[in-house]
Chains A and B, each alone.
Chain A
Amino acid sequence: MISFNNVCKRFPDGFDALKNIAFTIESGEMVFVTGHSGAGKSTLLRLIAAIERPTSGSIMVNGQDVSQMKKSAIPFLRRNIGLIFQDHKILFDRSVFANVMLPLQIGSFDSKTAAKRARAALDKVGLLNREKALPVTLSGGERQRLCIARAVVHRPSILIADEPTGNLDAAYARDIMNMFTLFHQVGVTVLIATHDATLLENTPRRILALNHGKLAA
């Protein structure tokens, strides 16, 4: 499903974020990416969604070579990936509901089906009663859940989350992790970057440990 082959990423300022990374994640697997801050976790996730391009090596996602992918093909790659960001990237000028609708509008669903799906996704993360609210009135945990609802509403086969429990207290974090486990159980490939040790203890999964851009054996 996702495989890295001798992937290196050097930023224009000469910093080597990733060095010779190689791994394979099977379809339906749930994997954690860990490491100190600056170890290259985010960069690794961003390479999968072609937000960054590798300096060398190849990255296969769903049988497509992302490293060689044409710019015009990237949107269609991303429609198959649900992205959850550390900084949420919620749009504050529209309601919770409208935020979740966005991926469906891009995928050009008709508005009835889209509304139904958006409500289902909001229900899944427990925000259905807040659909008309403006995101600014949401708490940190609720914003994270909104971000998750937006990431899964178009039913992607891969879910990528960058520090999804970053600023949340333990109870909220557990909540969020349970949600990811549920998605994993229905067959979604889940990839979560975190430095939260307690999170790893509670949910034993395969771990890709990064250390200064290198994959620990």
Chain B
Amino acid sequence: MKTWLIQHWQAFTFTLKQLLRTPFTSLLSIVVIGITFSLPVGVYTLLENLQSYSGKMVETPELSVFLKLDVTKTEEEEIRRRLEMQELIKSFQFIPKDYALKQLAQDNEMAMVVDNIGHNPLPDAFIVTTRRARAEELDQLRTNLQEWPGIEYVQFDTDWAKRVDALLNLGRLAVVILTTLLSIALIVVIFNTIRLQILTKREEIEVSKLIGATDSFIQRPFLYFGTIQGLAGGMMAWLIMVLGIQLMNDELAVLAELYATDFHLKHLDFEDSISLLAFSAWLGWLGARLSVASYLWRIEPK
């Protein structure tokens, strides 16, 4: 265990020194990886923000449940009872038709119309507030309510929510495609870097093999190199995102003020940040691993 730790520590410090020995080249490839990664991460962050914004708008969705004009008192009680049992429903409020008419009559123009009609054409209604839910769930709830006896019509517009959902799904697909393609690009970049390194270290590898180095000993610095580069690239992408979001938020603040809303972009949360770093480090490792697997065995002592 101790020797294992020593060997890993040696490989790690050796790799760091290696990176620092050629700071410009190292920085260059880290920047390339960072920029490559900031693209899907950026799109992802925008999507997350959009989703939380659209989520805010359907946070307290309301359904208007209009009762039949000839609804009986028992039917009304039954509806009340059944509404209470619905899990999705947070609260509801009964609006008697007289109250609704009174509300309507407060508007001067409407008051005249109401007077002309002479009787109350409005139905009794429930205003139902649901818990936060997906559009399909709310849709399902509406269909259910629609079938209850005594209910004439349930009004709830989920179309816009569905549209936003569909757009978000499209965006997510784009992120997946972008991430896949750019991950492959990243693996290729690291693969090639490590390949060049292996070729320039040919002699060292040969000598190491001659004096009894195991394959895993020889591989280790290269794997560390790939992993550290991937990780540093991930950090670079994260920093690019911080900078980008900062810049955009300054502009958005002006825009939001014009629309009298408070809208600003949030950065990746902790979990997503860790995932980003872990993923980029893993890709770096993978690129190095593939490179090592395809080139190291070719170097045999002559």
On A, residues with C-beta under 8 Å from B are: 49, 51, 72, 75-79, 81, 83, 85, 89, 91, 93, 102-103, 105-108, 110-111, 150, 154
Interchain CA distance A51-B206 in the complex, whole Å = 11
Q: How far is the CB of A1 from chain B (nearest CB, A)?
A: 18
Which residue from chain B places its CB closest to the CB of A150 in the assembled complex? B211
**A83 adjacent to B7 (CB under 8 Å):** no
For chain B, residues 208 to 225, give those with C-beta under 8 angstroms from any C-beta of chain A.
208-215, 217
Interchain CA distance A83-B204 in the complex, whole Å = 15
**B3 adjacent to A75 (CB under 8 Å):** no
On B, residues with C-beta under 8 Å from A are: 3, 6-7, 10, 203-204, 206-215, 217, 301
**A102 adjacent to B212 (CB under 8 Å):** no
Q: Which of A75, A81, A93, A111 contacts B213 (CB 8 A)?
A: A75
**B207 adjacent to A91 (CB under 8 Å):** yes
**Cβ contacts under 8 Å, A76 to chain B:** 212
**Cβ contacts under 8 Å, A102 to chain B:** 207-208, 211
Given contacts A105-B10, A108-B3, A110-B6, contact A78 B211 (CB under 8 A): yes
Q: Which of B207, B210, B212 contacts A107 (CB 8 A)?
A: B212
**Cβ contacts under 8 Å, B207 to chain A:** 89, 91, 102
Q: Which of A51, A77, A91, A103 contacts B204 (CB 8 A)?
A: A91
**Cβ contacts under 8 Å, A103 to chain B:** 211-212
**Cβ contacts under 8 Å, A83 to chain B:** 210-211
Nearest 6 pairs between A and B by C-beta?
A: A79-B212, A78-B212, A108-B3, A106-B213, A75-B214, A75-B212
Q: How far is the CB of B8 from chain A (nearest CB, A)?
A: 10
Interchain CA distance A75-B210 in the complex, whole Å = 8
Other A-B contacts than A78-B209, A85-B210, A108-B6, 15 sampled, CB-CB below 8 A, are A51-B301, A75-B213, A77-B212, A78-B210, A78-B211, A79-B212, A83-B211, A91-B203, A102-B211, A103-B211, A106-B212, A106-B213, A106-B214, A106-B217, A154-B211
